[in-house]
Amino acid sequence: MFKLGDIITMKKPHACGENRWEVIRLGADIKVKCLGCGHIVMIPRAEFKKKFKKVLTQADQVKTENEEHYLKKSQLMPPNFIKRNEE
C-alpha cells in the first residue's frame, strides 16, 4: 500500500493547491508532509486510509534533486524502541 518515504496523493488537495504528500512517519498516526509548501500534518491511520488515493512514487524511485521539500531517508528519524533489559 504505502511505505515510509513514498510520495502519495490524497482525495482532496492541500490549501496551497498541491496534492502530493510525502509519508514521513508510520504508526497509529500517519505523518505526511506537503511537497508544495512543506506543511506537516499528522492524521489518525483510520482517517488517513479514507483520504488516501494512491502512491505516485515509491521511496526508492524518488529523485530528491527535483523535490524541494522532500526529506531524504537519512533525515527521517527511525522509531525509538527501547528494550526492557536496557532501561
Domain of 4: which CATH number? Answer: 2.30.30
39: in domain: yes
Looking at the predicted structure, is the pLDDT value of residue 67 above 80?
A: no
Using alpha carbons, list the distances in angstroms from residue 60 to 1, 5, 19, 63, 73.
Answer: 15, 8, 20, 9, 10
Looking at the predicted structure, is the pLDDT value of residue 83 above 60?
A: no
Domain count, the chain: 1
Contact 35, 8 (CB under 8 A): no
42: in domain: yes
Cell of 59: 521511496
pLDDT-derived band at 63 (thresholds 50, 70, 90) equals low
Range of the domain at 1: 1-62
Contact 40, 20 (CB under 8 A): no
Q: Where are the alpha helices (DSSP H) in 1-87?
A: 45-51
80: in domain: no
Report which secondary-structure segment, H or E, holds 50: helix 45-51
84: in domain: no
